[in-house]
């Protein structure tokens, strides 16, 4: 539908009934791809449109359900708050928003529906950088990079990306919706309810994550040259667990990749969650895929221990990370020796001592499972979500 620029924006008739359809499908302004906000000639008040979106869309947090301690949990209790029913939310591009997920201010993350002919709705996630943010140009550039990397990846352990576009409201990327909690929510729930994640399931989740990482690390561009992808932000909130027990890596928001400049780190700056960043990255030294192997090791440490690996706040966290992982905590918690050795190797302060690749670490975990006659699958994970 082409936007009629003379038509005023209809006032909302109710909290959840902001009809932005005409607006959001307006043609992309011609000229330079990104213009500063005050240079734009939009004939509607962007701030108020975005405020309406915020007011209309509830914040939703997927929960861990189906465990003995989640009293009364069932399919309806999956979210802390219910998303909007189909057909009610405001639209961004071709997507109808249903709920807002926790996300950083640079890009809002929504669960949404792609509505097609015959009223068919497909659940999706829309990551959206609004144009009214003073840092729009930069936020957009980061989303472009994220899309760029994800568009070249195709793997069951990486969230699939559908499309990206700039519209009058901002820039968005549409992704596969993973129905389930992220690993941060999962871990917090296990700690709160004093449940241990079985070691074999912890190994399974990490093996799946490492498969996704190996795919990203070895991916090639359309010119068949290696892309040199490093995710740089492997942490529990970016590891999604589906109700069917699948594990999917997402949020390539600070990806390092050949040919992309938005993510070049300035001296003295690091991106990503510090408690999961490799020491060499924090020190500003050479960075490669082994930095993600390290983060996967920290993640495994936290899965098997049910505790944070580094607990300092603020800048002290950097000092703690540089001091290295306290491996004695694994022994004290009776983590099997051979598993502790794998964690120690993955999280070594010296990248040369780590597993050379993500798949090497995955193979070590698989061998450990086999030697100990563990049989574990997606069903085992699904059972504790």
Size of the site for ligand ATP (CB under 6 A): 20
Among 5, 7, 81, 102, interactor with ligand ATP by CB under 6 A: 102
166 binds Mg ion (CB under 5 A): no
* Interface stretch with ligand ATP, choices 96-104, 131-139, 200-208, 359-367 (CB under 6 A): 96-104
- How many residues are there in the chain? 385
Min CB(160)–ligand ATP separation in Å: 8
Give 159 or 205: the residue with its C-beta nearer to ligand ATP.
159
Which residue number, 101 or 341, has a Cβ lying nearer to ligand ATP?
101
Residue (183 or 342) nearer to Mg ion, CB: 183
Residue 253 makes contact with ligand ATP by CB under 6 A: yes
Q: b vs e for 160-169, b when ≥16 Cβ sit within 10 Å of the residue's Cβ?
A: bbbebebbbb
Interface with ligand ATP (CB under 6 A), residue from 238, 263, 347, 359: 238
Cβ closer to ligand ATP: 240 or 335? 240
Is 208 a binding residue for ligand ATP by CB under 6 A? The answer is no
Residue 80 in contact with ligand ATP, rule: CB under 6 A: no
Contacts within 8 Å (CB) and 24+ apart, 326-330: 329/305, 330/301, 330/304, 330/305
Q: Which two tokens stand for residue 231?
A: 């995710």
Tell me which residue has tokens 């964690």: 343
CA dihedral 257, 259, 263, 267 (to 10 degrees): 100
Q: In the stretch 211-250, what mask flags binding to Mg ion with x, by CB under 5 A?
A: --------------------------xx------------
**Pick from ligand ATP, Mg ion, none: which does 107 bind, CB < 5 to 8 A by kind?**
ligand ATP
Dihedral sign from CA coordinates of 340, 341, 342, 346: positive
Dist. CA 137–CA 38, nearest whole Å: 12
The token pair at 118 is: 């015959």
**63: its two tokens:** 């929960």
Using CB under 6 A, pick the residue from 20, 23, 50, 125 that binds ligand ATP: 125
Q: Which stretch binds ligand ATP (CB under 6 A): 72-80, 173-181, 256-264, 319-327?
A: 173-181
Cα-flanking dihedrals φ and ψ of residue 53, to 5°?
Answer: -60, -45
- Is residue 267 exposed (0-12), middle (13-18) or buried (19+ Cβ within 10 Å)? exposed
Largest CA distance in the chain: 71
Q: Is 182 in the site for Mg ion (CB under 5 A)?
A: no
Does residue 64 touch ligand ATP according to CB under 6 A?
no
- Nearer to ligand ATP by C-beta: 199 or 257? 257
Tabulate helix, strand, coil % of the chain (nearest 5): 35, 15, 50
Q: Does 246 bind ligand ATP (CB under 6 A)?
A: no
Using DSSP's 3-state secondary structure scheme, residue 161 falls into strand
- For the segment 96-115, give every residue that binds Mg ion (CB under 5 A): none
Please tell me whether residue 251 binds Mg ion under the rule CB under 5 A.
yes
Q: State both tokens at 384.
A: 């504790």
Query: Pick from ligand ATP, Mg ion, none: which does 280 bind, CB < 5 to 8 A by kind?
Result: none
Q: 271, exposed or middle or buried, with CB in 10 Å at 0-12, 13-18, 19+?
A: middle
Q: Cα–Cα–Cα angle for 83, 88, 91, nearest 5°?
A: 95
Stretch that binds ligand ATP, among 63-71, 101-109, 281-289, 377-385 (CB under 6 A): 101-109
- Residue 175: name its binding partner from ligand ATP, Mg ion, none (Cβ under 5 to 8 Å by kind): ligand ATP
The residue ranges that bind ligand ATP (CB under 6 A) are 101-104, 107, 109, 125, 127, 159, 175-178, 182, 237-238, 240, 250-251, 253
The residue ranges that bind Mg ion (CB under 5 A) are 237-238, 251
């Amino acid at each position: 539908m082409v936007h009629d620029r003379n038509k005023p924006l209809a006032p909302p008739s109710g909290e959840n009934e902001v009809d932005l359809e005409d607006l959001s499908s307006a043609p992309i302004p011609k000229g330079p791809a990104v213009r500063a906000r005050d240079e734009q000639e939009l004939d509607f008040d962007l701030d108020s449109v975005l405020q309406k979106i915020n007011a209309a869309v509830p914040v939703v947090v997927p929960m861990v359900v189906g465990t003995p301690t989640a009293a009364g949990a069932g399919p309806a209790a999956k979210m802390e708050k219910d998303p909007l029913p189909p057909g009610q939310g405001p639209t961004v591009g071709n997507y109808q928003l249903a709920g807002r997920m926790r996300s950083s201010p640079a890009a809002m993350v929504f669960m949404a529906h792609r509505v097609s002919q015959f009223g068919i709705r497909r659940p999706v996630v829309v990551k959206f950088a609004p144009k009214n943010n003073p840092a729009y140009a930069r936020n957009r550039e980061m989303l472009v990079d994220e899309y760029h990397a994800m568009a070249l990846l195709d793997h069951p352990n990486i969230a699939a990306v559908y499309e990206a576009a700039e519209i009058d409201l901002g820039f968005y990327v549409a992704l596969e919706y993973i129905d389930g909690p992220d690993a941060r929510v999962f871990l917090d729930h296990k700690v709160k309810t004093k449940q241990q994640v079985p070691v074999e399931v912890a190994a399974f989740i990490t093996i799946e994550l490492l498969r996704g990482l190996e795919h990203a690390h070895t991916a090639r561009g359309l010119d068949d040259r290696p892309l040199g992808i490093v995710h740089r932000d492997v942490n529990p909130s970016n590891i999604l667990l589906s109700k069917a027990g699948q594990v999917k890596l997402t949020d390539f928001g600070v990806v390092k990749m050949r040919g992309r400049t938005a993510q070049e780190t300035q001296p003295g700056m690091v991106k990503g969650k510090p408690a999961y960043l490799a020491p060499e990255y924090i020190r500003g030294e050479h960075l490669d895929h082994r930095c993600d192997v390290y983060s996967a090791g920290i993640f495994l440490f936290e899965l098997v221990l049910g505790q944070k690996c580094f607990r300092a706040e603020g800048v002290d966290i950097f000092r703690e990370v540089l001091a290295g992982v306290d491996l004695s905590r694994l022994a004290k918690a009776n983590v099997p020796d051979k598993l502790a050795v794998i964690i120690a190797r993955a999280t070594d302060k010296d990248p040369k001592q780590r597993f050379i690749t993500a798949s090497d670490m995955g193979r070590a975990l698989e061998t450990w499972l086999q030697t100990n006659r563990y049989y574990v699958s997606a069903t085992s994970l699904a059972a504790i979500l």
